[in-house]
Structures are given as C-alpha cells and as structure tokens.
Amino acid sequence: MSHQSEPRSDRGFAFAESPQASADAPFPPFTVSPREILVLAIALGVLYVAAIVYSQGVPARNDELYHFAQIELFRNGDFRVFARYLTTIPGYHALVALLLGISGATSLGAARTITALIGLVAAAAFHRLRRHTQPGSEALATAQFLVLPVLAPYFFLVYTDVLALALVLWATVATTRGRHALASLILCAAVLVRQSDVVWAGLLAALAAWPVFAERRFAEPKQLAALTVPYLAPVAVFVAFWIWNGSISLSHEESKLHPAFVFHADNVLLALAIAGLLFAPFAADSLRWQPLLPRERRARAIAFSAAIALVVLAAFWFGFRADHPYNAARPGYFIHNAIAKAAAMAPGRAVGAVLALAGTWVLLRTPLWPRAAFWLFPIAAFFLAAEWLVETRYLIVPFALWLAFREQRSKAAEYTALALWAALAVIIVAGTINGRWFP
C-alpha cells in the first residue's frame, strides 16, 4: 500500500499534497536541474528584454490609443476620464501615470515598459502560487506562464489585462496563505482595474471555505463566516460602482455592446477550442490519469464520455456564433475576428468543434490541486459567458489559474508545451508589435 500524505492546514486553507508525492503516481515528479532553470531564465530573459526594446517607438496598437491618452491626462494632473471610450475603471491608468511621473518618462514606449515590469510582478505571483500548491514544479510552470500565447503580447502593450492578472494572482496567493482580508483588499484593487474580475471573489471564497465543507464541519458558522465574509468587499465595490455609474461598463455608449446579465456561449466554446490547441501536448498523458476502470463500470464510462463528446461537438457546431458587431471588423488584422470568420464556415467550424472536444478532454482529465480548485470551471464559465464580444484576452485569467492549479504531467509533455507556446508567443508578439495583426 502506498503512503498517502495527510492534508495540511495553513491558516484556514487546507489542501492535500499532490499525488505526485506517491510512489505509484501516474506522473512521478521530475527534477528540473539548476542548469535547466538557468537556461530557461536566460532564454526567456533575452526574449522578454528584446520584446521591450522592440516595442519602443512603435505606434499605438488598437485601444492603446485611448489607454495612453487617459494616462497622459492623469500624468499632467488632469483628472478627467475618457468615459466615452473607456469601459474599465481607470485604476491601471492612474498607476501607470504615477509611475511615469516618478520616473520622469513620458513616451508610449515607457508606458509599455512599465506594463512589462508589471508582467514580472504577475509572474512572481504565479511562481509563488504554484510553489505553494505544488512545490517543485514552479520553475517550469512559470516559464510556461511567461510564454502563454493568449497572454504574452499583452506584456508589451498598454492594456489593463496584465495588471488585473497580477492582482488576481496575488489575491489567490493570499487566500492560499489564509490571509483572507489581504486577499479581499487586493481583489478590490483588481475590480478598480477591470470590473469583471469581481467574479474571482467567488473562486477565492470557495477555496477558503472548502476545507470546512470537505471535513463536514457544517456546525461552525462563525469559522465559515470568517473565511468567506471578507470576499464580499470586492462585490460591494463592484455593486457601488454599478449603482453610481448606471452600467457595468464605464462608458455608457459602450454599455449596449457590453450588456449586463446577457450570457453567450461563444467565449466558453472559444476557451475549449484554444485549450484543445495549446494543451494538445498533455492529451496523451491524460489517458493515464487513472487506472483502467473495472469491467462493470467501463460501459457506463464509455457511454458517459460519448455523451459529453456529442454535447461538446453539437454545442460548438450550433452554438458558436460570434455575432458581436466588433467581431466583424478586419478579420485580416484581429486574430480573434479571424477565428470568428473561420468558424462561420463549415471547415473552420468542424476544426473548432474537434479542438473544443480535445480541450474538454484535457481539462476534465487533468487533476487540480487543491481539490477545491475545481470551482475554477463553473466560475470561469460564468466569467466568459458574461462577455458578448469574442476575444482571446478574456482567456488570460482562467488559463493562468488553471496552469497554476493543474497537476504536472510528464517531462516530455511539459517541455513540448513550453516549446510550442514559446514559438507561438514569439510569432504573435512580433506580429502585434509590427502591426500585422492583433490578438
């Protein structure tokens, strides 16, 4: 009989050690040597610095025009808000303006450099989170995080996404350390950068409260309240802004294109298809997630898997529409609109459906640690379904959190994924900075 690790508690957050610690685990832990870590650090450091340098002096791309104009107003002491164009609370803009003022820099390139430095803060949070939940795998996982194709181009653009991601990740770190008041405060800051990040309060509250439910300690309402009530603060901030502004979108003109409580399946289906593409290196390993089922359960498992496959294929084929007005604009430039256009035709829709099925397979067959992290799936689905506009950048936070919580796979699969993502990231970042396309 193999030894099973006992759950350990850290200031209210309990989690079991990953099964990698067991001798009979399907994916025994592998060691990333100091030499490998050094090579990864040098290679990624060179690429990161090269992208920062490459982005200097390049004209604004897409919404950078509005974001940087707002930053310039704040930097010059003018606190008017471009409410006609901005959909998010200008917390990111205020921070970048402050840092530009401290540094004395004024250029768009300097603002991009600040965003890149914030990206390193996000990477530090990811590294800390991964080390806490799955010690020993954080170095390679952080390398993968830095080249995640849906995220990589935004490290070098004046967009709100990287700061929002950094705040969500640091809030998650605080939750896993049992520091719930701090996690709530950080998530309040995230809401002031991107209002939609309020939904992650649900995930953090679930992570905090799960040990109570897992241990069936339902008669401890005071402890449960102490764990979860702090996460009402970001919700209160969000509701207060909504009441004050009259719409979730800061821009009233844009609010019709970002309606509240109108849900669409498109971004959820896109997430599954992109997962099928990016996480393909893990697909074969997912076959070994658990031993072969007993014969009496095998038929039911096959039938259940077939039913899920049919649902996913049908959902993508009939449900992916991408009918937001902005998704019709310049498909030769916007990658997400090129995906929408391709999915409107039968060949592209068929490929998307197959990729969505592959993504579903990998996501469902990859254990998450701690166990409470399974709440990521329904909360991420809600987060994505609330967005009508189809954009790959909405996948940044859900994919980053999945990478932080997922079980490590074989060394071959992990390095294959790293190589694939690095190649895609270089192509996408270079094309974005050059103005050939936009993610």
| pLDDT tens-digit readout, 314-357 | 999 999 999 999 999 999 999 999 999 998 899 999 999 999 99
Strand (E) or helix (H) holding 356: helix 346-364
User: Domain for residue 283, yes or no?
Assistant: yes
At residue 300, the pLDDT reads 78
User: Domain for residue 423, yes or no?
Assistant: no
Q: Which of 300, 301, 274 is nearest to 356 (CA)?
A: 274
Which residue type occupies 195? Q
Helices (H) and strands (E) in the chain, counts: 19, 2
User: Domain for residue 198, yes or no?
Assistant: no
Q: Backbone phi, then psi, for 406, in 5-degree steps? A: -70, 155
Does pLDDT of 130 surpass 50?
yes
Band of residue 253 on the pLDDT scale cut at 50, 70, 90: confident
More confident residue, 15 or 233: 233
For the stretch 144-160, pLDDT in tens is 999 999 999 999 999 99
At residue 68, the pLDDT reads 97
User: Domain for residue 43, yes or no?
Assistant: no
| SS3 category, 4 | coil
User: Domain for residue 92, yes or no?
Assistant: no
First to last CA, the chain: 50
At residue 216, the pLDDT reads 66
Both structure tokens of 32: 């990333």
Sign of CA dihedral 248, 249, 255, 259: negative
Q: What is the mean pLDDT of residues 17-28?
A: 49
Distance CA(154)–CA(396), nearest Å, equals 10
Q: Determine contact, residues 432/157, Cβ cutoff 8 Å.
A: yes
Distance CA(193)–CA(80), nearest Å, equals 17
**Burial per residue of 257-271, b for 16 or more beta-carbon CB atoms within 10 angstroms, e otherwise:** ebeeeeebbbbbbbb
User: Domain for residue 317, yes or no?
Assistant: yes
Distance CA(395)–CA(277), nearest Å, equals 13
At residue 211, the pLDDT reads 80
Distance CA(328)–CA(322), nearest Å, equals 9
At residue 213, the pLDDT reads 76
At residue 256, the pLDDT reads 87
Q: Which domain holds residue 329?
A: 261-291+307-408
**Stated pTM of the model:** 0.93
Band of residue 258 on the pLDDT scale cut at 50, 70, 90: confident
- Structural domain count of the chain: 1
Q: What is the mean pLDDT of residues 98-114?
A: 97
More confident residue, 261 or 326: 326
How big is the CA angle at 400 (ends 26 and 149), to the nearest 5 degrees? 100
User: Domain for residue 404, yes or no?
Assistant: yes
More confident residue, 85 or 29: 85
Q: Determine contact, residues 439/51, Cβ cutoff 8 Å.
A: no
DSSP H helical segments within 104-231, as ranges?
108-133, 138-146, 161-176, 180-191, 200-214, 221-228
Q: Backbone phi, then psi, for 124, in 5-degree steps? A: -65, -40
Q: Which residues pair with 346 in a beta bridge?
A: none
